[in-house]
Chains A and B, each alone.
Chain A
Amino acid sequence: MLRVSNPVTVWKTMSPIRRQEALTFYLWISPWLVGFIIWQLWPLLESLWLAFSNYRILNVPQFVGLANIEKLINDADFWQSLRVTLGYVIGVVPIGSAIALTAAMALAQKLQGVNFWRTIYFLPSIVSGVAAAVMWWYVFNPDTGLINTALAALGINGPGWLSDPYWALPSVIIVGWWSGIGGQVVIYLAGLKGIPQSLYESAEIDGADGWAKFRNITLPMLSPTIYFNMVVGIIGAFQVFDVAFSITEGGPNKATQVYIYNVYQEAFLNQNMGYASLLSWVLFIMILILTLIVTAISRSRVYYESEVEG
């Protein structure tokens, strides 16, 4: 861990050359340091203060105590957005991760054209969120879209997808898979590549079959990567915005009123910036808690190679 010692004494004991080097260091990191204070540290603290204020853009923020929290508890939009977002996170993260892992496992066994497949899977993840949303809007179009056209060819009358309150969230989840799986596949592939082949070889000598190898070698060795993908996936999924903003506008019937879109509406359409700050903090804390839970679960399950070596 970091040893904290009195900076003044440290400075005094340094040679002039080391002092000059340290000064150069501070000078060179100054863009980041200044930026961190202006754009991150100060706003972080300010938003905490705004969360307990009545700030509405044009007024001077005033402390209103717990009024915003009281409003939050009685805010149907907040609870709806929380439900929708949790549904989205549950739909996107575990299933998406499982699909990505399966695809990566398939790719890892020296198939023909790994680069080709990887490109196909990865490409959607770099496509602009709006462009993807617009594309899927058309794919989901009840009358002329790809899915219902294909279903009609099979004699099935497809639902209204994004315009159907029951199907809207599943549709947004499908878009989430489409744009999220590729990045995960790449990371899983790198993780799989890092597993020493010798482990599998010795397991084969011991007579392990495919499932046993997966269960006892692949999963433990890959657990840090799975953990990473889960955490990043959760943080990303909680912030889903593009489809709700560009296509559904939270509808139909608030079925896709995701959390960040609700914050956006409160802050920039209703101009309840104080209240929106509180919403942001609530989400921040929830993500933090969820990440800690995942970390706690993974602590018993995640295997780090260094633990054995060191």
Chain B
Amino acid sequence: MANRIDTLPTQKISDALDATKPQKRFTLSLSAQRFVRFMLSYGFLAIGAIFMLFPVFWMLTAALKPTWQITSRDIWIPSFWHKTAAGDSVRLLNLWVAPNEAGEGTQDVILFGSKRQYVTMLQAENLSNIIAIPRDQVGGFEVITLDDMQLNGLKWNNENYVLVGADSDNLLVVALSGIDMLDAVVVPKTQIRGGERTDVAVGDYTLEARLLEIEDRGMLSLIEAGPNIELSTVLPAAYAENAMLVPLGDLDDKKLLPIGDSEADQYTLLNGSTDERYILIEQADWRPVIGIDVLNQHAFTIPSTDFEAAAEPRIFNNGVFQVGNYTADDGATQEVAVVVQQEIQTGANPTMLVLPVEYLDSVKVVLSSSLLEPYPVNVDGTAVRVKDFTHPSVEEENIDLTQIPDEIAIIGDRQDMALIIPASSVQQLYDVFNSDLQRNLSVSFQVQNFVRAMIRQTGEATFLTFFKNSTIIAGLSIVGHLISCTMVGYAFGRLRAPGKNLLFAVVLATMMMPGFITVIPVYRIFRDLGMVDTLWPMFLRTFFGNAFLIFLLRQFFSTIPMELEEAARIDGASRLQTFFRILLPLLTPALATIVIFSFLWSWNNLFDAAIYLNSPRNYTVAIGLRQFLGMYQSDFNLLMAAATIVMLPTVLLFFFSQRYFIEGITLTGMKG
């Protein structure tokens, strides 16, 4: 009974609440509801669109990038790296943007070879209030930057400290607030190693310090208090025009001397004055090259025995060549240079390719790293390695291609060369933080990637061959489907015969039958026909119709009124005449759909290509692209260019005939 009494008031309360509900219930106005729903819809669609489009964007940008940018995570847009010529050599040096020496504004610089490590150091005597913190109480370390100098910081009890030393259990720290950055100096790591070790007692603790001579401040005992930081030494780009290319062996008397605001190793030249010093910008492997035309016209192969070498090799435009006299059979003698020494085979007389010295004026030396992937060419019986610069890759951007012919022969021997600049001409040379150094880039699309991807050899074929094969197959598939499917679709749509419904049910049933189930017997048939590794298996079956397209056409045929055809028949037109003159023109949209789907299926057909096509000359783009994958492990830009090329026809087709695509897809859905 008590229960009953208790429930009564609550009942009343809920009744009262119900009465107020219309007012209390939180409602948005109808338009606000719609707005929220639209915003949610747009948000969802936008996220989906990013998922759909970003991979494509990523692929396209990669296809337009030079190789080195593929691995640079900070470059999203394909860019060109600005360069400057190094003196009169063919070398192009990368330009960087760095703060200028005064720290006001920026300027173009080139990187001076060495990078040096620096450490921020604190004057030991001026430290006070050292605290020891047990190691296990310290959470994490972080680098603190103060007045452009970096210190090893750590947090403890919500205070910032700077690490200055350690003993077996404790870290020795000083509160950040207690540090005067005027005591701090940034010292090259190399100099620290030269300093004498000393222990400095500060309060109760002993710190390991180094005695170092610091300019303007004298001998100080300093302790390391910062991370190792790398600074790059740079010089303004304008100095690049003073650069000279000399054999590395000519450099002599290396000395570390101050220059500008930094210091650098400086050399004298073996044959030059001892007062003239030079700084070394770069040392690298170079090779002499000459236009292949010059060799084809003037070079000839001689037996080594007919060549009488001169005592000294001679230098042509920095390229070193063995020269000597060649006496021909008729006794005439001429001065020639050895261009290529034939590989000596046992039993064969050694021969050499020589070039009369007057033609060596056009010799150039270029960076060996820009001569990758040469191919052999026969010049008067001698194999010469030739490099084609018609479609240069980025490695080749390191040299000025306008100064050399498109096709060059690699001749002579590799040479260690040095790129130097007279020290006297350099007034500015200074160190900058790596974080302040940026590549001088501007947006640029490397369209030649597409050309290079298309002409690159894959086995015995290029991508152009794959493209040709795919086009042939797609064309024949379209023809096959057009002929067979219109015929069968017409019959099912407009003719009456016993068993028609049963046969049409079979058509529908085969639509649902997965293709893989018949793969092996069909392979047997094609093998017995001798068609494996030909294009035939890729299109032959289209001439026997396709269930989906037959279904689609039957639907179209059924929608055309019978009267139209009957009228023509009464006028005396035959069945074929009415078919071609009356029905087909009405079916243009359906035929377009057939063309589109035939093309799409055959272009994207990977499984059949994987089974039937074995040799590269028969590959389609689908299987050819897969072959590329193995070759282009590192050249992602070329691989992506190839993938873009494979996608392009289908995407273009889609944009020009979107309606038919959507209709075809919708129709498949609607029959369910």
Q: Which residues of A contact B (CB under 8 A)?
A: 2, 7, 10-11, 14, 18, 21-26, 28-29, 31-36, 38-40, 42-44, 46-47, 50, 55, 57, 99, 102-103, 106-107, 109, 111, 115, 117-124, 126-131, 134-139, 141, 143-146, 149, 152, 177-178, 181-183, 186-187, 190-191, 210, 224-225, 227-229, 231-232, 235, 238-239, 241-242, 245-247, 260, 263-264, 267-268, 273, 276-277, 280-281, 283-284, 287, 291
Contacts and interface: CB of A to CB of B under 8 A. Distances in A.
Interface stretch (B300-308, B395-403, B510-518): B510-518
B612 to A, nearest CB: 10
Contacts of A24: 491, 495, 575
Contact of B514 (A39, A224, A284): A284
Contact of A22 (B497, B518, B672): B497
B484 A22 contact: no
B496 A127 contact: no
A277 B611 CA distance: 15
B156 interface: no
Interface stretch (B43-51, B159-167, B243-251, B287-295): B43-51
B412 interface: no
- What 10 pairs between A and B have smallest CB-CB spacing? A35-B544, A228-B672, A187-B669, A43-B521, A22-B497, A43-B518, A106-B41, A28-B491, A25-B497, A32-B545
B55 A123 contact: no
B274 interface: no
Given A7-B499, A32-B545, A135-B643, A260 B626 contact: no
Given A32-B507, A267-B523, 8 more contacts: A14-B498, A25-B496, A28-B490, A106-B44, A109-B37, A131-B646, A136-B55, A187-B669
B513 A40 contact: yes
Contact of A246 (B603, B626, B651): B626
A111 B640 contact: no
B239 interface: no
Interface in B267-292: none
Contacts of A210: 37
Nearest to B644: A131
A126 B52 CA distance: 13
A141 B640 CA distance: 13
Contacts of B610: 245, 264, 268
15 contacts: A28-B491, A29-B488, A29-B503, A39-B525, A44-B517, A122-B661, A122-B665, A129-B604, A131-B643, A135-B56, A137-B629, A232-B668, A242-B606, A245-B607, A291-B512
A34 to B, nearest CB: 6
Nearest to A110: B38
A186 B41 contact: no
Interface residues of B, number: 96
Contacts of B439: none
Interface string B614-640: 000000011101101100000010011
A191 B45 contact: no
Contact of B73 (A46, A127, A149): A149
A225 B544 contact: no
Interface of A is mostly: helix
Given A24-B495, A29-B487, A50-B520, A124 B52 contact: yes
A36 B506 contact: yes
Contacts, number: 281
A88 to B, nearest CB: 15
B114 to A, nearest CB: 28
A39 B510 CA distance: 11
Contact of B52 (A32, A120, A264, A268): A120
Interface string B17-50: 0000000000000000000011011101100110
Contact of B45 (A10, A29, A32, A117): A117
A241 B427 CA distance: 65
Contacts of B500: 25
B646 A287 contact: no
B492 A29 contact: yes
Nearest to B500: A25
B517 A144 contact: no
A37 B543 CA distance: 14
A90 to B, nearest CB: 19
Contact of B650 (A34, A128, A225): A128
A55 B550 CA distance: 34
A40 B506 CA distance: 11
B510 A40 contact: yes
Given A118-B662, A138-B59, A130 B646 contact: yes
B654 A126 contact: yes
B521 A46 contact: yes
A103 B45 contact: yes
B133 interface: no
A18 to B, nearest CB: 7
B518 A191 contact: no
A273 B545 CA distance: 27
B33 to A, nearest CB: 8
By CB atoms of chain B within 10 A, which of A50, A103, A131, A146 has the most?
A131
A104 B550 CA distance: 28
